[in-house]
Structure 1
């Protein structure tokens, strides 16, 4: 049996103030801390937006889903916009099963639209 490919997290913040975090491999309880660290490092640079690229995620468990939801909250509460891209079939099913399709969906979410709802 073949071993799963290693989990990778890449991150970057551009001069224009856009951050990018791309994930690949299996997102689970052992790899979730890497996502937290990458997002925290990006957010420390105070980007105006963060793009979360998930097309390389082959599997996600509840710990992985939790860190994605944490990422959403962290980014939006910091006042940055969030772009989620590449949600695959398995992750989409997991999101649907917990009823979070309106919370974690592909697309662009403006921070001010979320913050306005909480007032």
Structure 2
């Protein structure tokens, strides 16, 4: 059950979709992430920026939504940048061995002047599948 209200905001400008999430990303709210990013992908951006700075909690349903969003972006040929992964969501990713998929890295200059503090590894589309095939992950998402 969600204690802190969940919010999502999305905007597509100059080919970049920025999705800002806040609150608890859990069973009750995970579908919002998938729906919001799917709506952005319909507009055919060249990049999706997922800001998790305001996410205070993430459970396995939220993790599943993040992996699904990453997979959707990869299938659409759209780059995915993630910024602001907090301590608790980062620990959950590390526990299942998926921390490299959403690792924060300094980004290079982009067409949009807003800074991006992290970039997911979208060079290896097979990476998401490799993580999904790990037994501990299957147990969490089943």
In which range does the TM-score fall when normalised by the shorter chain?
0.7 to 0.9
2:139 aligns with: none
TM-score by length of 2: 0.74
Give 1:39 deviation, angstroms.
0.5
Give 1:99 deviation, angstroms.
0.6
Give 1:47 deviation, angstroms.
0.3
The root-mean-square deviation of aligned C-alpha atoms, in Å, is 2.1
Larger strand fraction of residues: 1
Q: Cα deviation per residue 1:2-61 (whole Å; 9 max; x = unaligned)? A: x833100100100x1000111100000110111111001000001000000000000000
Alpha-carbon distance in 1 for matches of 2:121, 2:44: 15
Q: Which aligned runs of 4 or more in structure 1 are off by greater than 4 angstroms?
A: none
Distance change (3 Å), C-alpha of 1:63 and 1:105: same
Query: Bigger CA drift: 88-97 or 99-108?
Result: 99-108
1:43 aligns with: 41
Task: Return the structure number with greater relative CO, CA threshold 8 A, min gap 6.
Answer: 1
Alpha-carbon distance in 2 for matches of 1:4, 1:67: 19
2:133 aligns with: none
2:93 aligns with: 95
Structure 2 unmatched ranges of 5 or more: 105-117, 128-142
TM-score by length of 1: 0.87
Structure 1 unmatched ranges of 5 or more: none
1:11 aligns with: 10
Match of 1:26 among 13, 24, 27: 24
Distance change (3 Å), C-alpha of 1:13 and 1:28: same
Between the two proteins, the alignment pairs up a number of residues equal to 114
1:83 aligns with: 81
2:119 maps to 1:108: yes
